[in-house]
Structure 1
Amino acid sequence: MACTQMNCSKNGTTSAADLTDDLIIEILSLLPVKSVCRFKCVSRLWYLLISQHRKRLPQTISGFFYPKHIYNNEDGLIGFPTFNGISRDQEQLFPDSSLPFLTGYRQILPKDCCNGLIFCFCWKDSPIHEADYVVCNPATEEWVVLPDAGHKSDALAYRLGFDGAVSPHFHVFQILEGDEDYGYISGVNIYSSETGAWSYKENGWGNNEIQIVEMRGVFFNGMMHLLTCEFKILAVDTEGKTWRTISLLETMCVENINLGPLAFIGQSQGRLYFINMRDNDSSKLSVWILEDYNSNEWIFKYNISTSQLFGELSGEKDHMLQRDYADLMFQRDYALIAIHPECNLIFFVWRCKDVLLSYDMHRDQEWKHDSRVEADSCYRQLYGVFYKCWTSGYQNQTIGLQL
């Protein structure tokens, strides 16, 4: 019986002509350079795929959106997004970073981001006192207006969860406060782009007196992770069915009476990271990795000397004189804002210099980036964008919103 399916050859196997461009590129990227060069002769299509690979291959966009404020005679002080790329080439991917495709809004404030999607609070042109919560993809210019959450409790925070490698759908976690107004979590309202609706779940962590730290959450393993003032990491899945509490080691728990827990959580290369200031030594940061997610096993990985890091960036090579920078305090003088999801880079904002810095934990190298940031006003509002993006005609294949 003859094979009549479009993608079958006579012997029942897939021929090279049936392969998609994406699959060909993925295969070629695994081969030695000399072999790839020879394959230019296979066909005109292969020649174009190989010779124009920079336009075809996926690139990781790395940079930060944050709200920039200007004075407008009509509206007063207004905010709109701006983008700081880690390199100049990446800044060109967003020539107008104010997100002009979000029409009908006079002010747009980014509030969170996750794997290329941005969660924004948008004030309408009319009526001017009304606003929407919007999730958008700045690369594809797709966007979704979230419906009213329909819950009367005050929201402590909103956190965005998205993993395009697993699902095209995103989730927004609305962390709700109890009636006593002490900042304790009463429950979580979860929006699903698949259903287009919110679903409320009561606090399932078994403790009604927990407060979250005012920093971004981490969407990892299909769960949203939140750091608490009680030095625990809370996690809840996208359906509100699974609730976890991840304990920390005693040496990981360092706080300041004014600044709270001096710590940061993030995820990179499939691991959950925890970075904290060393107890009784403000000039060092300790980096921990959750080695076994199921058994809560934390492994110490690195120490980072911030006095050396900031001293060298200021041009001071003498290790004795670098001690002048030992009093710089985490969260007061500088802030950790992101970990790169694919490598060992962590990103700082140095508030007194208003600059964005990156540090390679593995190579013990730091870089001062070209772009300046309004660090004093927005260092807590820098939202990292790291994701695979197709360019030059392949934009429709970028990770996007499932509308």
Structure 2
Amino acid sequence: MMPGSSKKKRDTEKSPVSELSDDLLVEIMRWRDLVSHPDHRKKLPQSTLAGFFFETYDITSRQVSRSRRYQSVSGNWCPRINASLSFLPKCERLDIMDSCNGLLLCRCWKSTDGKMIDYVVCNPATEKWVVVPATNWSSKLWAIRLGFDPAVSSHFHVFEFVDAFVLDAADRRRHIKVVGVYSSKAGVWTHESTGNHLVDICIFSPSVFFGGVMYLSSYNDLVIALDMEGKCKVIRTPAPRDGCGAYDISQSQGRLYLANHGDSEVSIWALDDSSTGNWTLKNKVSHLQLFEKEYLSMHDYNVIIHPEDNGIIVLCTQLHIGGQSLTKVLSYNVDSREQHFMTDLGWYCRIPYLSYVPLFSESLADAH
């Protein structure tokens, strides 16, 4: 090696940061602190809806098999998401229970008998994860939700909804009697009785978390509001639901929206004030506008208000000969009144369809 070649190599491998002046470095650090502050991050635009996590099932074999999938609906701007979540700790079976502001809540079965489980909260975009200890009820529950707001804190909450049947097998009622809440900041579970409130949520009912409150739709024309201590409040919906099941609720631009499925149209309502329970009718969209003639034969559908613009996303399932089902994703622009086909989720899909909005920051406290 010729004299001076080592020094020349080191000079060419210098970090670009080393060329910056002290004044410029100080300015960069100031801007970083300014942007990362929770009060300012609330005002910044959030990542938009990227896709959906869901399950498919195969009934062609003797034994029904399940498969976890992710489908993008927003092009190539979001990094490729691996639905297998292979970066998580190994377990016998993994169920994705909920999605909230870029994080997923999973239930990890460690043994085939279901006696050893944990929850895992993870960020698919950064592949960071945190283990949450299960409770004595965790293996018996399906109504489990995740609460997380990266603009407020890097900590999250897990909500368990324990129904009367789990508490007493002789009691065939399914309404929720106890709410368990896990705080990642405190590292403990707390439990609160729902008292006299008749909380009758569907295990796959949509949920929304913002402003430190978890909102869920209920069968009995109510929206359930739970704070981070598990205290329950009920908000009556603006009109009785047309048909069976629960309402579709969504969050868009800092407000709670409710979609009521009618016989021939969908009405969209926005919650003005949770303390008064006042709603405002925002739009009514006929099925013909929403689906056009090609999709009017759908068997079932779910409505999601787009988190950032004046649009509606519809996941509609069509039944075909032989009991086969195909789920399609459509979009409808309220301003232009135009409907567009977005993508197929494929055959034999099953609810819930969990909306995924990617989170690219490292906002997950105590993550691996």
Question: TM-score normalised to the size of structure 2?
Answer: 0.77
CA gap 1:60/1:26 in 2 versus in 1, 3 angstroms: farther
Q: Secondary structure at 2:233's aligned position in 1?
A: strand
Residues 1:65 and 2:53 aligned together: yes
Residues 1:247 and 2:233 aligned together: no
Q: Which residue of 1 aligns with 2:75?
A: 88
Report the aligned-residue RMSD.
Answer: 3.2
Task: Give the one of 385, 393, 396 matched to 2:356.
Answer: 385
Kindly indicate whether the alpha-carbon contact (under 8 Å) linking 1:351 and 1:375 is maintained by their aligned counterparts in 2: no
Q: Which residue of 1 aligns with 2:267?
A: 286
CA deviation after TM superposition for structure 1 residue 335, in Å: 2.1
Q: Which residue of 1 aligns with 2:161?
A: 175
CA deviation after TM superposition for structure 1 residue 218, in Å: 1.4
* Residues 138-161 of structure 1: CA deviation (Å, up to 9, x unaligned): 011111222121359953510111
Kindly indicate whether the alpha-carbon contact (under 8 Å) linking 2:81 and 2:124 is maintained by their aligned counterparts in 1: no
Task: Give the one of 339, 354, 363 matched to 1:399.
Answer: 363
Residues 1:19 and 2:4 aligned together: no
Structure-1 separation of matches of 2:138 and 2:124: 31
Residues 1:343 and 2:309 aligned together: yes
Q: Which residue of 1 aligns with 2:134?
A: 148
Residues 1:229 and 2:213 aligned together: no
Kindly indicate whether the alpha-carbon contact (under 8 Å) linking 2:265 and 2:286 is maintained by their aligned counterparts in 1: yes
CA deviation after TM superposition for structure 1 residue 26, in Å: 8.9
CA gap 1:235/1:137 in 2 versus in 1, 3 angstroms: same
1:320-339 matches, cutoff 5 A: 325=296, 332-336=299-303, 338-339=304-305
* Residues 267-319 of structure 1: CA deviation (Å, up to 9, x unaligned): 110111011023xxx121000011233322211110111223322656xxxxx
Kindly indicate whether the alpha-carbon contact (under 8 Å) linking 1:175 and 1:189 is maintained by their aligned counterparts in 2: yes
Kindly indicate whether the alpha-carbon contact (under 8 Å) linking 2:200 and 2:219 is maintained by their aligned counterparts in 1: yes
Q: Which residue of 1 aligns with 2:101?
A: 115
* Residues 27-75 of structure 1: CA deviation (Å, up to 9, x unaligned): 9xxxxxxxxxxxxxxxxxxxxxxxxxxxxx985451111224579x9xx
Residues 1:164 and 2:150 aligned together: yes
Residues 1:369 and 2:345 aligned together: no
Q: Out of 175-184 and 346-355, give the one that drifted further.
A: 346-355
Kindly indicate whether the alpha-carbon contact (under 8 Å) linking 1:106 and 1:123 is maintained by their aligned counterparts in 2: yes
CA gap 1:145/1:181 in 2 versus in 1, 3 angstroms: farther
Equivalenced residue count is: 322
Question: Which runs of 4 or more aligned residues in structure 1 lie more than 6 Å from their structure 2 counterparts after TM superposition?
Answer: 24-27
CA gap 1:218/1:146 in 2 versus in 1, 3 angstroms: same
Kindly indicate whether the alpha-carbon contact (under 8 Å) linking 2:199 and 2:224 is maintained by their aligned counterparts in 1: no
Letter in structure 1 aligned against 2:267: S
Task: Give the one of 237, 259, 265 matched to 1:275.
Answer: 259
Q: Which residue of 2 aligns with 1:359?
A: 332
Structure-2 separation of matches of 1:109 and 1:156: 10
Letter in structure 2 aligned against 1:386: V
Q: Secondary structure at 2:185's aligned position in 1?
A: coil
CA deviation after TM superposition for structure 1 residue 17, in Å: 4.0
Percent identity of the aligned residues? 32
Kindly indicate whether the alpha-carbon contact (under 8 Å) linking 1:81 and 1:108 is maintained by their aligned counterparts in 2: no
Q: Out of 177-186 and 111-120, give the one that drifted further.
A: 177-186
Structure-1 separation of matches of 2:209 and 2:104: 13
